[in-house]
Structures are given as structure tokens and as C-alpha cells.
Amino acid sequence: MIIKDRIDLAVAWDWAYDCDFILLLDAECMNRRIRMAALGFGEAQAASAALRTGELSVGTFLDRAAPDEEPFAGLSAAIANSGAQFLNPPDEVRRAADKATMHLEFLSHGIAVPFTIIISPYNRERQVKLSLDQLALLGRPFIIKPANTTGGGIGVITGAETLKDVIDSRKHHRDDKYLLQEKVVPAELSGKRAWFRVFFVCGEIFPCWWDDTTHVYAEVTAGESSRFSLSPLVSIGRTISTVCRLDFFSTEIAMTPAGQFVTVDYVNEICDMRLQSRHPDGVPDRLVRTMSGLLADAALGPGRRLS
């Protein structure tokens, strides 16, 4: 139901699996005595109209829906016109979602990334200007990914071997740039693959083990961080936050057998917040609850954080 007065935190959502996260976030808002509204397909259009007429005001907005599709595109525009605070401003989201842009920005900020070749969209340049020597530098197998169309791994090929794989792949998203990347093999640390997903939420950083073969999470403990010298996960995450300028995102970082930390998947601007108690490859429940609290704190505003 739309509250036709003041909403402290409005959340747009269009994925059924977000339900548990939305409920946790609402509970954290209730603990802080602030109002939250979850705006799905059924509520977004009405909320847009109420914002335009002044019947509704929103303090803070978190967009977890498809930003360029209706009714959510209209909602985002109405939110912007109302002067509300965005968690993850739309212009920054579009910039951060472009993996080609982030690749170059990461390099310029000293963040280690896989060896990568960026190629133009198929509709701009039909022929692939790629020599066999360049292809050899990628090693085999290598990874092919579109720069912008990779939510949930869409369009990503992890076992590419030949130039033909490149030629065929880029025809699937013809207006998108493509990244060709070397495949990073992580170290093993006491039987665990040294592949991590690092969350950044409103200034706080949460490193997790994230097995890239099973997608199973486990929080990195303080003892593990000290034992395996994992503190760079925090400093890299903080540098990435200054580069992408988002309030809430995750990134993937692998530690190689040589001990180098390589950021392998740059910025995931809409984090999968499914609960581990319900999904084997979900995020640990305690962590989702903590991050929900930080998002609710952001809606409280400066100086009003719940202790």
C-alpha cells in the first residue's frame, strides 16, 4: 500500500527472490521508527503519480528493479525530480555497470585486473581486429563477456578457446562492447579456493569467501584475515568504492598462487541478497541483516544512526 504522505525509504523491486531481503529491510526500518515502502510492479506507477502531484514525498530511494523498463523508469524519474536521496544514483549505476569503463578506471587507480582486450560492438565494427599473437596472450581457456549485459552471468563464456568463439559471441549483444579476459586461477588456502565476494554498503566493507565453482558463501573471519593476510580485500574494496561512486555494491576478488589480489568481476550494482538459510548459494543471513541495518541507517540521515 502506498502511504500518501512521507516515506523515509522507498525500494523498487521486481525479483521474487528479493522478498526476504525486503522483509528484513522493512524490519530494520521499523526498529528505527522510519517508514519504508516496497514498490513492485503494482505500486510503482501509483507512486510515480503521487510524487508528481505532491501527495507523496520520499526521503531515500533504493532501486533494485530494471531501471530502463516501465513502470520503474518513470518511478526513477519522478524520484529524481522530487529531490530524494538516491542510494546508488542512476548515472553512477550506468557508469559502474559498464565493465569496459570500469576496467580502464581500475587500471588507472592501480587495481590489479586480469589481462583484458576490449573490442568494439559488432554493430559498430563487424570485423574483429585481433591478431593471433594477442589471442595467445589471453591463454586458454579465456573468458568472453559483454561490457554491459552480464547480470547473473548473461552472455558470459568462461571456456572460450578460439577466435571463432569471439566472432560468434559478439553477435549476441550487437550494440555492446566485449571484454576478452584471461582466466584467473585462485590459490588454495587450507582447502578453500581463494576467491572472494566483497560487499560495500554505505561505507562498510564485508569480505566473504565465495567459491566460484559452487557459489557458496562464508564470511571471512578476523582470524582468517590475519592468518591468510587478507586485509587487501578491504583496501581494494574501498578503492573500488571511490572509483564507482556507489553506496551499495559487491565485487569479486581472487588471490592468485603468487599472492596477488586480482579483481575479476568489477562492480555488481544490484547485489543478490537471497538468504543462505533458504538458498545454498545465498548470502549469510547475519550479513544480510547487518547490511539491511546500514541501508536503514542511511535513510535515517546524518547524526540519526541507531546505536
This prediction's pTM: 0.91
pLDDT number for residue 78: 96
pLDDT number for residue 199: 98
pLDDT per residue as tens digits for the range 164-204 = 888 788 877 788 888 999 999 999 999 999 999 999 999 99
pLDDT number for residue 175: 80
Q: In CATH, which superfamily holds the domain spanning 89-112+185-268?
A: ATP-grasp fold, B domain (3.30.470.20)
Fold of 115-182: Dna Ligase; domain 1 (3.30.1490)
Going by C-alpha positions, the residue among 49, 44, 93 that lies closest to residue 72 is 44
Q: Which residue has the cell 578506471?
A: 105
Please give the span between the terminal C-alpha atoms of the chain, in angstroms, as a whole number. Answer: 30
pLDDT number for residue 1: 47
Domain assignments of the chain as residue spans, ordered by start: 6-87, 89-112+185-268, 115-182
pLDDT per residue as tens digits for the range 128-147 = 777 778 888 898 898 998 88
DSSP state of 180: E
pLDDT per residue as tens digits for the range 234-261 = 999 999 999 999 999 999 999 999 999 9
Domain 6-87, CATH 3.40.50.9100 — does that match?
yes
Helices 99-108 and 232-244, axial angle in degrees (round to 10): 120
pLDDT number for residue 307: 45
The segments of the chain whose pLDDT lies below 50 read 1, 3, 306-307
